[in-house]
């Protein structure tokens, strides 16, 4: 059975850019200008976050429950793939195109503002609608914009949400439910998420330092990363392996066996051996436990010579959008035969396997396949393999 899924086009807006070209430029030069200090998000101090600083398209013309920053981000990315969506809608019909996207915040930021006014004045703002913060809002909004008529849903498995969208899309297409799927994820900054991670003692006091001996936590980010996938040959191929170890509500299994299983599942589905993978985009949150687990898991499968980097030091951890965002980073890397730099303070943690951290000088080989890891609360693990299509 053909299980190859093609990425026909993608759109991206994130802290390092609002177009494919801008993202590529900053991805390969290691720019951290998207990480900024904010004093209005954390209850008890300042916090560094990955913030989209581009002007976003207005959503005022849509129904009130669609008027959120989350959907502005979604629209900015969606506009980059609308031509391909229209092309596949003509090829297959709108009824044969579905939507599977991930988020963890939806429009919670608008809900926070509304609750503040309600508490102060006993009335909600005129522009507030409770449906703004429902998880289903994102998929419904994308259906409204694109006018595709197939099934749509939103996945919310925290940090693996948008990576899982690729796997679910493949299942839908294999089952004959649809012929193409809009996939990806969108998350926007909000106080609830940032204070929640702070309560877990998982946020960094400064810029995050993935895999460093000095690492002390994550920087939360926001992004929209959307793609359209089908069996129609495109520039890139993608396969996804999943596992669920359910070790703990928030902590990863320290043995890394769940991560190893998801990586090996992806390799098996792609019919590739581990030597064919040139680069791993690490989940790399810069928390003590995640980096320890992941370094061990990657070393177990690939050894320590494989090129690796965490791009969360550039964008922050974009939560439900992170998996799709980093898959798109792999697409950009494959298209330019460059790799994202591992930006950190260089403080080696002697307790971790030392992978082949990408820098400006050490990358020399041609790349055909990359792997991107996404590991989430509750042991929801997804590993995506992205490859060039040379046909």
The two tokens of residue 161 are 């949400």
Please tell me the distance from the alpha carbon of residue 6 to that of residue 3, in angstroms, as a whole number.
10
Does residue 244 surpass a pLDDT of 90? no
75-108 pLDDT tens trace: 999 999 999 999 999 999 999 999 999 999 999 9
Does residue 1 surpass a pLDDT of 60? no
Q: What's the farthest any 2 CA atoms get from each other in the chain?
A: 63
186-202 pLDDT tens trace: 999 999 999 999 998 99
Cα dihedral 282, 159, 164, 268, rounded to 10, equals 30
Active site residues: 159, 283, 317
pTM of the predicted structure, to 2 decimals: 0.97
Whole-number pLDDT of residue 3: 73
Whole-number pLDDT of residue 66: 98
Nearest to 365 by CA among 343, 334, 386, 388: 334
Whole-number pLDDT of residue 2: 67
Please tell me the distance from the alpha carbon of residue 310 to that of residue 326, in angstroms, as a whole number.
9
* Count of structural domains within the chain: 1
- Tell me what the mean pLDDT of segment 308-314 comes to: 97
Domain that holds residue 209: 5-388
Give me the sheet containing 5-13, strands edge to edge. Answer: 152-155, 97-102, 180-187, 223-230, 5-13, 236-244, 380-388, 369-376, 279-281, 307-309, 356-357
Q: Kindly tell me the sign of the dihedral angle through the C-alpha atoms of 265, 271, 275, 276.
A: negative
Task: Quickly state the pLDDT bin for 376 (edges 50, 70, 90).
Answer: confident
Task: Quickly state the pLDDT bin for 245 (edges 50, 70, 90).
Answer: confident
Please tell me the distance from the alpha carbon of residue 256 to that of residue 262, in angstroms, as a whole number.
10
Task: Quickly state the pLDDT bin for 156 (edges 50, 70, 90).
Answer: very high
Neighbours of 384 (CB within 10 A): 29
Task: Quickly state the pLDDT bin for 135 (edges 50, 70, 90).
Answer: very high
- Tell me what the mean pLDDT of segment 235-243 comes to: 96
Neighbours of 246 (CB within 10 A): 11
Whole-number pLDDT of residue 248: 65
Does residue 391 surpass a pLDDT of 80? no
The two tokens of residue 272 are 């590739």
Does residue 379 surpass a pLDDT of 80? no
CATH of residue 133's domain is 3.40.47.10
Whole-number pLDDT of residue 155: 96
Average pLDDT over the chain reads 95
Task: Quickly state the pLDDT bin for 255 (edges 50, 70, 90).
Answer: confident
Does residue 249 surpass a pLDDT of 70? no
Does residue 241 surpass a pLDDT of 70? yes
The two tokens of residue 170 are 């493949």
- Tell me what the mean pLDDT of segment 218-224 comes to: 98
Please tell me the distance from the alpha carbon of residue 78 to that of residue 12, in angstroms, as a whole number.
8
């Amino acid at each position: 059975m053909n299980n190859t899924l093609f990425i026909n086009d993608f759109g991206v807006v994130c802290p390092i850019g609002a177009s494919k070209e801008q993202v590529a430029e900053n991805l390969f030069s290691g720019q951290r200008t998207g990480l900024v200090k904010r004093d209005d998000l954390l209850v008890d101090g300042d916090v560094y976050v990955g913030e989209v600083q581009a002007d976003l398209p207005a959503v005022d013309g849509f129904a009130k429950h669609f008027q959120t920053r989350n959907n502005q981000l979604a629209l900015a990315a969606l506009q980059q793939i609308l031509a391909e969506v229209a092309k596949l809608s003509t090829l297959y019909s709108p009824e044969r195109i579905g939507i599977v996207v991930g988020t963890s915040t939806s429009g919670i930021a608008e809900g926070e503002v509304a609750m503040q006014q309600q508490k102060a004045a006993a009335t909600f703002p005129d522009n507030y609608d409770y449906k703004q913060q429902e998880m289903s809002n994102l998929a419904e909004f994308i259906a409204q914009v694109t006018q595709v008529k197939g099934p749509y849903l939103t996945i919310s498995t925290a940090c693996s949400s948008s990576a899982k969208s690729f796997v679910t899309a493949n299942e839908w297409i294999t089952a004959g439910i649809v012929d193409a799927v809009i996939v990806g994820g969108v998350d926007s900054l909000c106080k609830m998420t940032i204070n929640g991670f702070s309560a877990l003692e998982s946020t960094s006091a400064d810029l995050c330092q993935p895999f460093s001996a000095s690492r002390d936590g994550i920087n939360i980010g926001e992004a929209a990363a959307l793609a359209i996938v089908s069996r129609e040959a495109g520039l890139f191929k993608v396969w996804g392996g999943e596992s669920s170890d359910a070790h703990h509500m928030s902590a990863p299994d320290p043995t890394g066996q769940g991560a190893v299983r998801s990586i090996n599942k992806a390799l098996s589905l792609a019919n590739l051996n581990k030597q064919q993978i040139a680069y791993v985009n690490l989940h790399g949150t810069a928390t003590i436990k995640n980096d320890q687990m992941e370094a061990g898991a990657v070393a177990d499968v690939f050894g320590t010579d494989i090129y690796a980097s965490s791009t969360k030091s550039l964008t922050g951890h974009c939560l439900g959008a992170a998996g799709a965002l980093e898959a798109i980073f792999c697409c950009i890397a494959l298209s330019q035969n460059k790799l994202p730099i591992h930006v950190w303070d260089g403080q080696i943690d002697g307790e971790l396997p030392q992978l082949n951290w990408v820098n400006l000088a050490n990358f020399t080989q041609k790349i055909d396949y990359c792997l991107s890891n996404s590991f989430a609360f509750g042991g929801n693990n997804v590993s995506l393999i992205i490859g060039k299509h040379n046909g």
